[in-house]
Amino acid sequence: ERQRAGDHADEATAGASDDSYESEEEDPFLQRQSQLRTFQRGDFQVGGMIGQGSFATVHKAKQLATARDVALKVVRPESELDFGTGPNGSTPAVSYKDVLKAMKQEVLLMEMIGSHPNIVEILGTAEDCRVFVMERAASDLYTIVKQQERNLPFQLAKLWAAHMLHAVHFMHEHGVVHQDIKSSNVLIFSDRSAKICDFGLARRSKPTMSVDRELVTLWYRPPELLMGESTYTPKVDEWGVGCILLEMMIGLSPFKGKPDCICQCPHITHRNYNSDQLMKIFAVVGTPKDRALLARQACTVHFSKWPIFPAKLEGTVKRMCTAERLWRGKGDMPGEQEVDEKAAAWHFIIAGLLNLDCKERLTAEQALRSRLFAPSKRPTSSSVSRSPDGKAPPAVAAGGEGQ
């Protein structure tokens, strides 16, 4: 349910390693030693599993020396992993060595980024980067959105939107592209802060990068990859944030493509094509008409004869922007004019982040300068009181495990 269908074995090799190096031994970045604190397994009281991915599991734990609640990300033993076979029964392209390399890359990348209040903190490692020690969250955004359905207060949506954008801008400024921005990778803490986690698919960024494999979880995959561009930019992360903003509005992932709707074309740029995913995007943001944009796409043969979809995003945003969801818990309910203004501000930022043309897509920095985040004229409060129906908005959404 958390989009694992889009997380294939490629994730073990899709990380930070520079494309020009054949092996870990040749890449100076991977020769660096982590400066993080080194822990032993005995330093923690390990509890139950609270999450899992293709190659690692996440467990809640308590650091015995400090009684601090933490989360441990642990690479699976080689005996638990099935890498399948390569073409014609050959050796698979991904090995356990690649998995361990990806774990080390994740640690080094997060050290390279440095500390930021909206990026989850790695406290240390154990067993030669086979175990990460991380701060533990109260929940994750996927869980909260699912619990709240279409009732997530816009005050929280706006706060978390800003936190995500600050994190993306910071990591891009430090030369890292995440490549897996999705709601389940946004952790929510007890102080209501949102932090991006899971840099397992991240890499050192360049202004333009070559498409050489399947990239980004399907439901959050940007159109330039789906349509077959041969290169991509760090703005794949901004597309992911745009998807999450719309997800917070409508209460579910907006583009839930079926993973088996792929083509059999041999060219590498077709590896990211999915007809159902692309059609769901067009049905919301409209069919692209720019000839220069379409000329860059390798997969136009698959969708050039589709019906023309009109853009429906503005109407969707306007329907979701209600006075009840915009109300801050103090003072009068917002009037019709204020509701329309807020709807326009939300539409501007979501449409900008979900621009089909990555060259025109808003950067995180540009999005943070938009009208949505301008100082409010209405009185605000550091705490949120009860909504008009008498129910308190979620502190961080009860019941989520986080991580």
DSSP states of 176-197: EE-S---GGGEEE-TTS-EEE-
Say whether 62 sits in a helix, a strand or coil.
strand
**Number of C-alpha atoms within 13 angstroms, CB side, residue 309?**
17
- Distance in angstroms between the alpha carbons of the first and the last residue of the chain: 15
Biggest alpha carbon distance in the chain? 68
User: How many CB atoms sit inside 10 A of residue 176's CB?
Assistant: 23
> Which amino acid is present at 370?
S
73 among annotated binding-site residues: yes
Distance (Å, whole) CA 81 – CA 72: 19
Distance (Å, whole) CA 6 – CA 185: 14
Beta strand 122-126 pairing with 37-39: parallel
Residue from 68, 53, 73, 70 nearest 3 by CA: 53
CA 134 vs CA 44, 57, 337: distances in Å: 12, 13, 45
Residues annotated in a binding site for ATP: 73
Residue numbers in the known binding site are: 73
